[in-house]
């Protein structure tokens, strides 16, 4: 029986900077063909994790394997393409020269013209790299990450600075890469991107893995649902906050003084019981909606609950 090494394997990996545990006993394994989003609040350890994976930093303890070898060997073999957050682009060279260089260094290069076209930067190929807008520079970084036929593409906040159209085009291109069987790992603060694109979501918190699953599983793990309804007339906010199973409540629309209709939004860990209790207060909720949490709300609920635990 043959066993295939995971694309990426972290085993009890830790990395400290002084007193800060940037990555703390992290164990994870990525399988071929997965598109994986790495989420976490600021300082959770996302960039450090990617740096460890790319061999740019060495763990204090634990092991990092990429395609069964050390990160450096995997990169030298051309198996990994990376787009880093602040990866400085060389000054004084044109986009075409820089992409040509990246293709020249890759063991399994694509044609530079194809790389430029795929990244949507053919029309700015002659421009100096230090004269690009933020979104254009991101596209150039993406071109460098896809200069050759790599099996794993690692992207650190790839769409930061891109406008909506550029972002959509970027993800369409990325999907093509994934559909060809590549593994894609991206760190992002845009949770809607993770929800729409990733097959698997890893939530980091304080250097450890807080959640690992599909976006649907992460939403379910947060264990709460959203309830929204409108109320007319006097509204007793304290009574609403005291409803059973409520974990968050916001009011919008008219003010109590104006008597205009107000919209009540509630997060509840038992929506049926909460709605039942709303009627129990003698209220008449209109336009009642009950829905699962979005990934963003689930992420906030999970990380806030974890913060509360460690305080
Ligand atoms: N070179 C360094 N020296 C000292 N501390 C560092 C260094 N790099 C990272 N850290 C610290 O390690 C922790 C994790 O940082 P990291 O950049 O990995 O987080 P992140 O999840 O990528 O954050 P962000 O979402 O803000 O980009 C943070 O507390 C950060 O301040």
Per-residue pLDDT tens over the stretch 194-231: 998 999 999 999 999 999 999 988 888 888 899 999 99
Residue nearest to atom 25 of ligand 1 (CA): 42
Q: What are the residue boundaries of the structural domains of the chain, listed by start? A: 8-220, 224-292
Is it true that domain 8-220 has CATH number 3.40.50.300? yes
Residue nearest to atom 17 of ligand 1 (CA): 47
Handedness of CA 169, 110, 84, 124 (dihedral sign): negative
For residue 97, how far is its CA from the centre of ligand 1 (angstroms)? 32
Residue nearest to atom 3 of ligand 1 (CA): 17
For residue 31, how far is its CA from the centre of ligand 1 (angstroms)? 26
Residue nearest to atom 4 of ligand 1 (CA): 17
ipTM: 0.96
Is it true that domain 224-292 has CATH number 3.20.20.70? no
Mean pLDDT along residues 64-69: 96
Residue 1 has pLDDT above 50, yes or no: no
Q: Which of 26-35, 114-123, 255-264 has the lowest mean pLDDT?
A: 255-264
Ligand 1 pocket test target in 10, 41, 46, 188 with most atoms within 8 Å of CB = 46
Mean pLDDT along residues 176-205: 91
Read off the pLDDT of residues 138-171 as tens digits, 9 standing for 90 and up. Answer: 889 889 999 999 999 999 988 888 888 888 888 9
Alpha helices in 119-264 (DSSP H): 134-145, 164-179, 191-197, 215-221, 237-241
- Residue 16 near ligand 1, beta carbon < 6 Å: no
Alpha helices in the chain (DSSP H): 46-53, 71-76, 95-105, 112-118, 134-145, 164-179, 191-197, 215-221, 237-241, 271-280, 295-310
Q: Which of 14-28, 73-87, 90-104, 262-276 has the lowest mean pLDDT?
A: 73-87
Q: N- to C-terminal Cα distance for the chain?
A: 48
pLDDT > 70: what percent of the chain? Answer: 95
Name the average pLDDT for the chain.
Answer: 89
Q: Comparing 8-220 with 224-292, is the CATH topology the same? A: no
For residue 211, how far is its CA from the centre of ligand 1 (angstroms)? 20
Residue 307 has pLDDT above 90, yes or no: no
- Residue 135 near ligand 1, beta carbon < 6 Å: no
The pLDDT assigned to 138 comes to: 87
């Amino acid at each position: 029986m043959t066993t295939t090494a995971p694309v990426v394997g972290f085993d009890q990996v830790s990395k400290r900077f002084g007193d800060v545990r940037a990555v703390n006993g992290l164990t994870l394994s990525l399988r071929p063909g997965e598109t994986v989003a790495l989420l976490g609040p600021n300082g959770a350890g996302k960039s450090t994790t990617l740096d460890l994976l790319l061999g740019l930093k060495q763990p204090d303890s634990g092991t990092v394997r990429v395609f069964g070898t050390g990160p450096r060997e995997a990169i030298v073999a051309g198996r990994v393409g990376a787009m880093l957050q602040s990866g400085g682009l060389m000054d004084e060279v044109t986009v075409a020269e820089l992409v040509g260089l990246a293709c020249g260094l890759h063991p399994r290069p694509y044609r530079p013209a194809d790389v430029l076209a795929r990244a949507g930067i053919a029309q700015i190929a002659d421009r100096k790299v230090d004269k690009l807008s933020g979104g254009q520079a991101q596209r150039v970084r993406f071109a460098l990450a896809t200069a050759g036929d790599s099996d794993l593409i690692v992207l650190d906040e790839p769409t930061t600075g891109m406008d909506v159209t550029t972002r959509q085009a970027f993800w369409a291109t990325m999907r093509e890469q994934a559909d060809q069987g590549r593994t894609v790992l991206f760190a992002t603060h845009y949770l809607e991107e993770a929800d729409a694109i990733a097959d698997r979501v890893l939530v980091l918190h304080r250097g450890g893995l807080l959640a690992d699953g599909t976006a649907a599983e992460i939403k379910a793990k947060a264990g709460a649902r959203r309830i929204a309804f409108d109320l007319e007339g006097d509204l007793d906010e304290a009574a609403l906050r005291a409803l059973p199973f409520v974990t968050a409540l916001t009011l919008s629309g008219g003010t109590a003084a104006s008597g205009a209709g107000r919209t009540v939004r509630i997060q509840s860990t038992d929506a049926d019981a909460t709605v039942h209790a709303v009627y129990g207060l003698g209220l008449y909720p209109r336009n009642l909606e009950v829905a699962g949490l979005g990934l963003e709300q689930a992420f906030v609920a999970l990380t806030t609950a974890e913060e509360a635990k460690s305080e």
